[in-house]
Every structure is written in C-alpha cells, then in structure tokens.
Amino acid sequence: QVQLVESGGGSVQPGGPLRLSCAASGSIFSIDAMGWYRQAPGKQSEWVATITSGGVTNYADSVKDRFTIFRDNAKNTAYLQMNSLKPEDTAVYYCNLRIKLPFGKSYDYWGQGTQVTVSS
C-alpha cells in the first residue's frame, strides 16, 4: 500500500536546471534504496541514479557530474537535481523505492512518472 507521487517535471531549455521530487507515503517499511529511471520514446528504460539506505550514491555515466540524488528523511521525499540539461535527457522519469522484506526478499514500488522535455 505504499505510494510514490512524483512532481517537478516540465519543459526547460538546454543548459537549464530542473528538480524532481518523489514523496513516499503508506505503511511502515524498511528502505533498501531509492532511485530514478527514465525512458525516452522508443527506447528501453535506463537507470539514472540510486541512493542506498546508508546514503551511498551511484550515477549513470551519462548524468554523472550533472545530476544529484538526495533525500529528506523527515519528509519521506527523494529528489533528483538536474543541471546542465541536454536534449538527450528528454524522457519520462520514474521514481523507484526498494524495500526490504523477510527472508532476504525485496520489493520495488514505482512512481507514476513525470515528463521532462529539454528543447530550444
């Protein structure tokens, strides 16, 4: 019964910034990691960034040094700060939440997706 609500998408010119938000709500759970994926039209889903429960971050090479993933635990919200945006960043961005389950299992929840369009 966990829900992820995304916001912050929109249209921006190349080189501009944009910040995406992902607010989690629902039952209590143990977080393994949160992350962001994106999917451009006609392409496969692409992993963008991850932050573990311990705060360790990882980025795809295509966004490293331009994007930053972080979270506000008090607000149960994760963010993706995107700077120096390029047209190839245009995609639907999805927030991912992985929770820990008993017996070494895990489960993934997904946000509804938010459109990011980078163009002149």
Question: Nearest-CA neighbor of 37 among 83, 78, 75?
Answer: 78
CA–CA gap between residue 110 and residue 114 (Å, rounded): 12
pLDDT at residue 26 in the model? 84
Torsion, Cα 37 44 106 114, to 10 degrees, reads: 40
Q: Taking residues 76-92, what's their average pLDDT?
A: 96
Cα angle value 95/97/102 (rounded, 5°): 165
pLDDT digits (tens, 9 = 90+) for 17-42: 999 999 999 875 688 899 999 999 99
pLDDT digits (tens, 9 = 90+) for 53-78: 899 999 999 999 999 999 988 888 99
Q: Give the distance from CA 102 to its chain's centroid.
A: 25
Q: Taking residues 106-113, what's their average pLDDT?
A: 95
pLDDT at residue 73 in the model? 81
